[in-house]
Structure 1
Amino acid sequence: MLFLPFLTMPLLAQQDYFFPEKTFFKEGVPTPGEFLGYEIGDFHTRHDRLVAYFYELARISDRIHIQEIGMTYEQRPMIIATITSPQNYNNLENIRQEHLQLIDPQVSLPAMGQMPVIIQLGYNVHGNEPSSSEAAMLTAYYLTASEDPEVLRYLEDAVIFVEPVLNPDGRDRHTNWANMHRGFPPVADANDREHNEVWPSGRVNHYWFDLNRDWLPLVHVESQARLKFYHTWYPNVVTDFHEMGTNSTYFFEPTKPFGSENPIIPRSNYDDLNNLLAPYFANAMDDIGSLYFTKEVFDNSYPGYGSTYPDIQGGLGLVFEQASSRGHLQESIHGEVSFAFTIRNHLVNSLATIKGTVENKEIFLRHQREFFGGAVKQADGHYASGYVFGDAGDRNRTKAFMDLLLQHKIKVYETGRDIESNNKTFGAGTSYIVPGNQPQFRMVATMFDTVTTFHDSLFYDTSAWSMVHAYGLPSSAINKRAWRNVSLGQQIDSTFLNSQSFPVLRSDYAYLFSWQDYNAPGVLHELQKKGIIAKTAFKPFSIETLEGIKEFSNGSILVPVEIQKMPAEELHSLMSDLAKTHKISIEAVKGGFSTTGIDLGSSSFENLEVPKPLMLIGEGISQYEAGEIWYLMDSKLGMPLTKVDILDFNRVKLENYNELILVNGNYGLLREKDVQKIKNWVEQGNTLILQKSAVTWGITNKLIAEELKVKKDTVTEDAPSLRLDYGSAEAIEGAKVIGGSMYRVDLDITHPLGFGYTNRDLVVYRNSNILLNPVKNPYSTVAVYKNDPLVSGYISSDNLQKLPGTASVLVSKLGSGRVISFVDNPNFRGTWYGTNKLFFNALFFGPIIEVPEVRE
């Protein structure tokens, strides 16, 4: 590798370093260094200055135009620069409309020889991998100012989109860290504070999520805005630039053959397109003397990356990874890695992407055309002609899933009549159909199909992504014979999702609403925020409402009128507003006498405490899982969450809270007296919520007396020692990890943690090897793995044998309080609507959970 020995250098030297020799630039177009006041690589550029530079280029040049596609949570603009010839820009809408014909097999084939190819260069989705955004400025300058005939041809033959920062909030978090700790001269020692961020890192967005996993679930505003733009153009090539460990070199595609590839994608994507561009990247890296590798490690299977989502849309997604300086200069086994060096690596591959795509543009355009036509043909040979889904008791969760499908441009229809499929009834008006025969068939299969056989046993990330299971929705594939009897109703659009109204009649006695609806917890929190007394039902009942007899299951919420401090008229207005805002049915009753089951004055209705949660965060604790809970409580409940750094725990007065949340992580920073403080607090009647490795921490520190399930191999003294090839270690040991897959558990829906569920069969997500035996108290293992648990994803046969009968959710008694243990993460990546309710239940019902005594 060649490294830049000095950070600061004159402009001419920097141009010679970054750009090809004999490049001539138009006068009057400022370099990034001229605009910023320092040369690229000397400092990390703040997002606002980076955006300002792009606007300055657009002010000066007619080759580049800027648009804002959205705003982050911290109100930073998300921009995309369109760089093309002035002639193309003046005809941009016609170019877009012509390009969209490629994805519609029903329209005639356009003359692709005359069409510009669409390239989208995406940078810096992980905020603490900052070199690519600096490269984005240099790329934009090069395309805007270069007078090279080859560059002018690029602008004629391509429309190039540059998204300089995919994660503005995370980038600025890291930028400020690196700049505030920069030494003069810079310190290359890896132990220096500059190279070691505090928690949370700049990798993640405002809510501590990894946005590079969010292209499929679309949880966050950044991803939603990005995908909306993506589907207005369907780029042919999309880049995704990253950084990795400082002792690495540089990676570009192709990735590992077969084992890391998505089986729904045509082989031509991997065999032809990836290999088509690889020589361009190799030549670019050879020219500057940088070491690189291909065909290893990185994942092309999970469809939610910036480098894989385009593959399922007829384009080519490309991941680039390189050794990071994690600051301005850092030691490595290859020598000192400078920030400028890493910037140059990504710059030359940005330009190589453009060159390779333009020189092969007809291949990319034709591939996209054939991709969507092939999708319809592939659908014809698929085992399912379509899919039906829906939960009549939870329309908001059903609509949330439909909204996800629509964002991915999947066609959805109402059911014209009831459908019987897979021993389930899907009712007209409450269930929906997705035909397989549509251009987005491969996205349809991604959303609904499950996969349990794989080429490989090693996964860079999750091995299961069937989103209908993540949403916990009843669903069924419809085979070709049954499809003949399917009647498609109205096609669903975004207006349909918001069309239904929820009027609330006035009652002077009580209001009721079901806990089955996903939005019910948000309504309950709003009521408690207003000081309204609410109760929950521990048994089912039916009652005469002002609109007829209605049935209510465990967990249903009762709001009596007379016991409230709020006047009846004001309470009715509040109920009406909440029903409208949260799109939930709220029923009014005249009296408390039930037609079946418990009456409204029964002791089986219990008053609900107002949750006062606190969550420990900080060093050693998973920023992802903590962020998932923070996001969930902000976005779904509107409930403030107190987040306390683990180092500050000693000053916290726990008596001000009634729930303490510990997610996956290492809690070794808690001292013995801190553990005793937590134990005393729980014993006084409070609730401790543990997740994943925090459960094992609770066992180790004797807060709970549960048992880890340990399988010990029996080895006799005279048995020969097992001998394995050294080269097989990675595959064999990696296969032992449960890296992310879906399983069925049996859920006790009579337990408060199971309230709101009507089916004992629940799909959970598991990405750990933690196995717990059921609780000795027979009433306290809330969810247990079924005998044949695997739904989708990879698991070794040995691990699969261990899972059945182990606990997924359990409750342990501790004095007058309780410890709720989630062995699996119910809030994975903010998109597991199907298990979110388990966490909601822990939050709202935890304080009223009693662990029944077992009599001898």
Structure 2
Amino acid sequence: MFKRLFLVALCISGTLSAQDYFFKKFQPFNAEIPSPETFLGYGIGEHHTRHDLIVAYLTELARVSDRASIYEYGRTHEGRKLIMLTITTPENLKNLDNLKQQHLAFTDPGQSVSNYNDVPVFINLAYNVHGNEPSSSEAALLTAYTFAASNSPEILKYLNNAVIFLDPTINPDGRDRHTQYANMYQGNPLVADPQDAEHNEYWPRGRTNHYWFDLNRDWLLGINPESRGKLTWYHEWYPNVVTDFHEMGSQSSYFFEPMKVNASQNPIMPKENYEDLNNLFGDYFASALDSIGSFYFTKEVFDGTYPGYGSSYPDLQGGLGLLFEQASSRGHKQTTKFGEITFPFTIRNQYTSSIATVRAAAENKGMLRKYQQDFFKSALGNASKSRVRGYTFKDDYDKNREKAFIDKLLLHKIDVYKSENQFVVPTNQPQYRMVQTMFETYSKYRDSVYYDASAWSVANFYNIKYKPVTSLNLGDKITSTADLVKTSAVQKTDYAYIVDYDDYNATAALNYLQKNGIVVSSAFKPFTTKTNKGQTTFNYGTLVIPVSLQKKDTDKVFELVQKAQQKFQVSIHSVSSGYSSKGIDLGSRYVSPITKPKAMMLIGDGVRSYEAGEVWHLLDTRVHMPITKIPMRNFNRANMDKYNTLVMVSGNYNLNKKQLEKVKNWISKGNTLITIGSASKWAIDKKLVKEKLTEGAKKDSTEVAERKPYVDAGENLGKESIGGAIFKVDLDLTHPLAFGYRDTQIPVYKNNSVWLAPSKNEYATVAKYAKSPHIDGFITKKNKEEFLKPSASLLVSKVGSGRVVLFADNPNFRGSWYGTNRLFLNALFLGDKIRIPE
């Protein structure tokens, strides 16, 4: 199949133009509107197209075509434009505001409208969320041109019945990283050898965005500007159909929905979505791909259980999310077991599916509108059937973490209220299914093998102490987080300032003060003292700023303390005496100056880029602290003595004996190594620390294995992995790594099989899984009983005068685990203060 179509692709440079190869059937085209080939100066598929050229071409279409307009909905971390091209008939475009209001009436359960076929269907064709899956953005150019310029009766009919919102590149930063790579190594003639550099990107590769985040996991979490911009746009328009175009391994074919059976026991999305609509659209895709001789498969893999995909989030908004996966050429041409696969061929399949999506939506617009209307009405109906009337939550100590969670609720248009001293989220609202997503937890599942996470109760990500209620008093509606955190202005003192360390932003304030030359201490025991606000009790880790001991004068110290408070909205107290009415005094030996972190992190081949990006993002965007990223290829010549902290995230570290000794000697000098996930296992395996892994029950070597069907092997083995679940740990609140916490039990996120045995040192196990650890997500009974329950989540192990902080679980997962970020940040800022008694 690939070989035959490759021969067709060769004709591009012969008797046929690139345009004819893709869309000859949609002639005639308006000659006044340039094709992509005319505008770019090369045929689609001959090179990878840079994002700025994609934007330029679509901008030109909007200028010359009366069917199109363009809108910028955001900018990436690197400043690239995120754009949406709207395409429909000139009449629809002029009347778009009115059509929008008619469309939104179907999403309002309070309105009763039935003109389902009178309003054009709203379609969001979205492409290239993974930057190194580039065929879809090229297909976006072809699709845009087709709908902007074709005068084919078929295309005109679709335009009359649809408003198309075309998002050509969801991840421009990642795409351009890959585009530069692929074009840089493109040969002439093309090199099809899979071992060629063109087909093997360098780390971190182009899949992810600037901070190495997978944006196709970010729709629910909304951490990055690309996702936040798209979510804001989404909740303005609520499209009926949304596409999510991807690529997969070169040895495969093409995938479109329906997916495998939904893994949830009781999916919160309507059954009509993943059965009726998926099957209906699947028939259109099959027919379109059959017509060009492409092979494909459905139903075997992928699941839409996790609501953070581009193909699953729309399913929770009354729309239909559609996943497509094209076998990748990983460059311009590559040899596969089926022959040679070319870039133009991969683009053609994506383009064909784009047109088929519009056709299916336009021909079934009444059904899609009725479905969306029923979706939001059934949300209220489902809410009324539940005993739970809402969820209440509050945090008396950490208002900025609470604010971050409320921001996430508002981003998804979830109604939130403030009633007396707590917040209330009612279930009786159109976004009831998103309320379920944020708060509900599950222990029973239909399936056991997940494409991604099996737990996503976002309230637990933020360590929010919430409870379901059967009655509620709503109070005032929250429409913005701007004024949620209110701190009284710090008063000037000549003695000392005290900063509450319970607040999420306290670490950022600490870094700001240190960066500006202020010496800040940490209280290793609680105390109660008289402040400008009266008698106040302070927790473990409270920050103390002695004024007279600074190298700066009193006025300058006050100015910097003021700026820290204004910038990070943390509570700061003034005191005029070091004497405490209870607990330690401010001059106690338990009040110790904090060493400014000088951190480095190993990156490059073998290192898990997702986790490295999460560390980089956390420090850049929330703490505003630099971290030196040292590529593995440079490690031999790196001067480690410039740093006091080394971070090693999950990965396969192939350090030789000399390199391992270099790390060990550096730690022994009094420095701190922080390991996460498989890096913690590596540290144990390499005997860098005297800790062990949990072994589990030993198998009887004489026992005969139960015979099982071969076809089930993948599923049976797959369920033993931890795809992503939430568990409860018991925390030692007196340990420096736990400073800032008030509860002895907190949720953690586990998506690996790293099981740390509790340390033999009585003081070294900071967090151990609770006796009843399960909160949310799938885990086998064997894993829970033999590995989870006996294990630790966080250890500290002594190495010479230094220490290794071992995280079994990722405290920074997807930039969203506000509840465990503090553990990691404490390791950075307080690591050298940890003394492990022997």
State the TM-score, normalized to the length of structure 2.
0.98
Which letter maps to 1:444?
Answer: V
Per the TM alignment, residue 72 of structure 1 is displaced from its structure 2 partner at its CA by 0.7
User: For the residues of structure 1 that align with 2:461 and 2:386, how far apart are their CA atoms?
Assistant: 22
Per the TM alignment, residue 495 of structure 1 is displaced from its structure 2 partner at its CA by 5.3
Question: Which of the residues 374, 392, 407 maps onto 1:403?
Answer: 407
**Residues 18 and 37 in structure 2, CA contact (< 8 A), matched pair in contact too:** no
Per the alignment, residue 582 of structure 2 pairs with 596
Per the alignment, residue 783 of structure 2 pairs with 799
Secondary structure, counterpart of 1:402 in structure 2: helix
Per the TM alignment, residue 498 of structure 1 is displaced from its structure 2 partner at its CA by 5.4
User: For the residues of structure 2 that align with 1:374 and 1:580, how far apart are their CA atoms?
Assistant: 45
Per the alignment, residue 768 of structure 1 pairs with 752
User: Could you give the per-residue CA deviations for residues 733-779 of structure 1, whole angstroms, max 9, x where no partner exists?
Assistant: 01111111000010101000011001010100001111111111000
Per the alignment, residue 516 of structure 2 pairs with 530
Per the TM alignment, residue 340 of structure 1 is displaced from its structure 2 partner at its CA by 0.1
User: Could you give the per-residue CA deviations for residues 508-567 of structure 1, whole angstroms, max 9, x where no partner exists?
Assistant: 100011111000000000000011111001111111111111111000100010011121
Given the alignment of the two structures, is residue 249 of structure 1 paired with residue 253 of structure 2, yes or no?
yes
Secondary structure, counterpart of 2:19 in structure 1: helix
Secondary structure, counterpart of 1:94 in structure 2: helix
Per the TM alignment, residue 713 of structure 1 is displaced from its structure 2 partner at its CA by 3.7
Per the alignment, residue 202 of structure 1 pairs with 206
User: For the residues of structure 2 that align with 1:728 and 1:355, how far apart are their CA atoms?
Assistant: 38
Per the alignment, residue 168 of structure 2 pairs with 164
User: For the residues of structure 1 that align with 2:673 and 2:652, how far apart are their CA atoms?
Assistant: 16
User: Could you give the per-residue CA deviations for residues 274-311 of structure 1, whole angstroms, max 9, x where no partner exists?
Assistant: 11111110011100101001112112110000000000
Given the alignment of the two structures, is residue 145 of structure 1 paired with residue 149 of structure 2, yes or no?
yes
User: For the residues of structure 2 that align with 1:452 and 1:317, how far apart are their CA atoms?
Assistant: 26
- Percent identity, aligned pairs only, is 51
Question: Which of the residues 619, 634, 643 maps onto 1:633?
Answer: 619
Per the alignment, residue 354 of structure 1 pairs with 358
User: Superposition pairs for residues 26-41 of structure 1, below 5 Å?
Assistant: 26-41=30-45
Per the alignment, residue 44 of structure 1 pairs with 48
User: Could you give the per-residue CA deviations for residues 634-661 of structure 1, whole angstroms, max 9, x where no partner exists?
Assistant: 0111001100001100111111000001
User: Could you give the per-residue CA deviations for residues 225-251 of structure 1, whole angstroms, max 9, x where no partner exists?
Assistant: 010000110000000000000000100
User: Could you give the per-residue CA deviations for residues 32-73 of structure 1, whole angstroms, max 9, x where no partner exists?
Assistant: 111101100000001111111111111111111111111111
User: Superposition pairs for residues 567-716 of structure 1, below 5 Å?
Assistant: 567-668=553-654, 670-715=655-700
User: Superposition pairs for residues 820-831 of structure 1, below 5 Å?
Assistant: 820-831=805-816
Per the alignment, residue 384 of structure 1 pairs with 388
Per the alignment, residue 428 of structure 2 pairs with 437
User: Could you give the per-residue CA deviations for residues 351-405 of structure 1, whole angstroms, max 9, x where no partner exists?
Assistant: 0000000000000001000000000000111241100112110000001000000
Per the alignment, residue 850 of structure 1 pairs with 835
Given the alignment of the two structures, is residue 123 of structure 1 paired with residue 95 of structure 2, yes or no?
no
The answer to which of 704-713 and 116-125 deviates more is 704-713
Which letter maps to 1:679?
Answer: K
The answer to which of 344-353 and 108-117 deviates more is 108-117
CA RMSD of superposed structures (Å): 1.3
User: Could you give the per-residue CA deviations for residues 291-349 of structure 1, whole angstroms, max 9, x where no partner exists?
Assistant: 00111211211000000000000000000001000100011111111000000000000
Per the alignment, residue 372 of structure 2 pairs with 368
The answer to which of 737-746 and 498-507 deviates more is 498-507
Per the TM alignment, residue 92 of structure 1 is displaced from its structure 2 partner at its CA by 1.0
Question: Which of the residues 88, 98, 119 maps onto 2:92?
Answer: 88
User: Could you give the per-residue CA deviations for residues 189-246 of structure 1, whole angstroms, max 9, x where no partner exists?
Assistant: 1110000000011000000000000000001010000100001100000000000000
Per the TM alignment, residue 501 of structure 1 is displaced from its structure 2 partner at its CA by 4.9
Given the alignment of the two structures, is residue 837 of structure 1 paired with residue 822 of structure 2, yes or no?
yes
Question: Which of the residues 448, 461, 478 maps onto 1:457?
Answer: 448
Which letter maps to 1:532?
Answer: I
User: Could you give the per-residue CA deviations for residues 810-850 of structure 1, whole angstroms, max 9, x where no partner exists?
Assistant: 00001100110001000000000000000010010001111
Per the alignment, residue 297 of structure 1 pairs with 301
Question: Which of the residues 541, 544, 553 maps onto 2:527?
Answer: 541
User: For the residues of structure 2 that align with 1:294 and 1:814, how far apart are their CA atoms?
Assistant: 53
Question: Which of the residues 738, 761, 767 maps onto 1:754?
Answer: 738
The answer to which of 621-630 and 155-164 deviates more is 155-164
Per the alignment, residue 465 of structure 2 pairs with 474
Q: How has the CA–CA distance of structure 1 residues 370 and 160 changed in structure 2, closer, same or farther, with 3 Å as cutoff?
A: same
- Tell me the number of residue pairs that the alignment of Structure 1 and Structure 2 aligns: 833
Secondary structure, counterpart of 1:188 in structure 2: coil
User: For the residues of structure 1 that align with 2:239 and 2:99, how far apart are their CA atoms?
Assistant: 12
**Residues 685 and 817 in structure 1, CA contact (< 8 A), matched pair in contact too:** yes
User: Superposition pairs for residues 310-325 of structure 1, below 5 Å?
Assistant: 310-325=314-329
Per the alignment, residue 5 of structure 2 pairs with 3
Per the TM alignment, residue 21 of structure 1 is displaced from its structure 2 partner at its CA by 2.5
User: Could you give the per-residue CA deviations for residues 148-180 of structure 1, whole angstroms, max 9, x where no partner exists?
Assistant: 122112212111000000000000000000000
Per the TM alignment, residue 262 of structure 1 is displaced from its structure 2 partner at its CA by 7.1
Question: Which of the residues 18, 26, 29 maps onto 1:14?
Answer: 18
User: For the residues of structure 1 that align with 2:443 and 2:350, how far apart are their CA atoms?
Assistant: 37
Per the TM alignment, residue 112 of structure 1 is displaced from its structure 2 partner at its CA by 2.2
Given the alignment of the two structures, is residue 787 of structure 1 paired with residue 791 of structure 2, yes or no?
no
Unaligned runs of 5+ in 2: none
Secondary structure, counterpart of 2:579 in structure 1: strand
Secondary structure, counterpart of 2:576 in structure 1: strand
Given the alignment of the two structures, is residue 341 of structure 1 paired with residue 313 of structure 2, yes or no?
no
Q: How has the CA–CA distance of structure 1 residues 736 and 495 changed in structure 2, closer, same or farther, with 3 Å as cutoff?
A: closer
**Residues 265 and 444 in structure 2, CA contact (< 8 A), matched pair in contact too:** no
Per the alignment, residue 710 of structure 2 pairs with 726
User: For the residues of structure 2 that align with 1:639 and 1:22, how far apart are their CA atoms?
Assistant: 54
**Residues 663 and 693 in structure 1, CA contact (< 8 A), matched pair in contact too:** yes
Q: How has the CA–CA distance of structure 1 residues 167 and 262 changed in structure 2, closer, same or farther, with 3 Å as cutoff?
A: farther
User: For the residues of structure 2 that align with 1:573 and 1:13, how far apart are their CA atoms?
Assistant: 68
Q: How has the CA–CA distance of structure 1 residues 250 and 262 changed in structure 2, closer, same or farther, with 3 Å as cutoff?
A: farther
Question: Which of the residues 115, 118, 138 maps onto 1:134?
Answer: 138
User: Could you give the per-residue CA deviations for residues 772-827 of structure 1, whole angstroms, max 9, x where no partner exists?
Assistant: 11111000000001111111000011101121131100000011001100010000
User: Superposition pairs for residues 65-84 of structure 1, below 5 Å?
Assistant: 65-84=69-88
Per the alignment, residue 424 of structure 1 pairs with none
Q: How has the CA–CA distance of structure 1 residues 751 and 501 changed in structure 2, closer, same or farther, with 3 Å as cutoff?
A: closer
**Residues 260 and 299 in structure 1, CA contact (< 8 A), matched pair in contact too:** no
User: For the residues of structure 2 that align with 1:514 and 1:608, how far apart are their CA atoms?
Assistant: 15
Per the TM alignment, residue 76 of structure 1 is displaced from its structure 2 partner at its CA by 0.7
Unaligned runs of 5+ in 1: 417-427
Per the alignment, residue 237 of structure 2 pairs with 233
The answer to which of 199-208 and 53-62 deviates more is 53-62
Per the TM alignment, residue 111 of structure 1 is displaced from its structure 2 partner at its CA by 2.1
Secondary structure, counterpart of 1:375 in structure 2: helix
User: For the residues of structure 2 that align with 1:61 and 1:260, how far apart are their CA atoms?
Assistant: 46
Per the TM alignment, residue 712 of structure 1 is displaced from its structure 2 partner at its CA by 4.5
Per the TM alignment, residue 497 of structure 1 is displaced from its structure 2 partner at its CA by 4.0
**Residues 502 and 584 in structure 1, CA contact (< 8 A), matched pair in contact too:** no
User: Could you give the per-residue CA deviations for residues 54-106 of structure 1, whole angstroms, max 9, x where no partner exists?
Assistant: 11111111111111111111111111100011111111111112211111111
User: For the residues of structure 1 that align with 2:518 and 2:674, how far apart are their CA atoms?
Assistant: 25
Per the TM alignment, residue 727 of structure 1 is displaced from its structure 2 partner at its CA by 1.1
User: For the residues of structure 2 that align with 1:549 and 1:305, how far apart are their CA atoms?
Assistant: 50
Which letter maps to 1:19?
Answer: F
Given the alignment of the two structures, is residue 809 of structure 1 paired with residue 794 of structure 2, yes or no?
yes
Given the alignment of the two structures, is residue 446 of structure 1 paired with residue 437 of structure 2, yes or no?
yes
Q: How has the CA–CA distance of structure 1 residues 849 and 435 changed in structure 2, closer, same or farther, with 3 Å as cutoff?
A: same
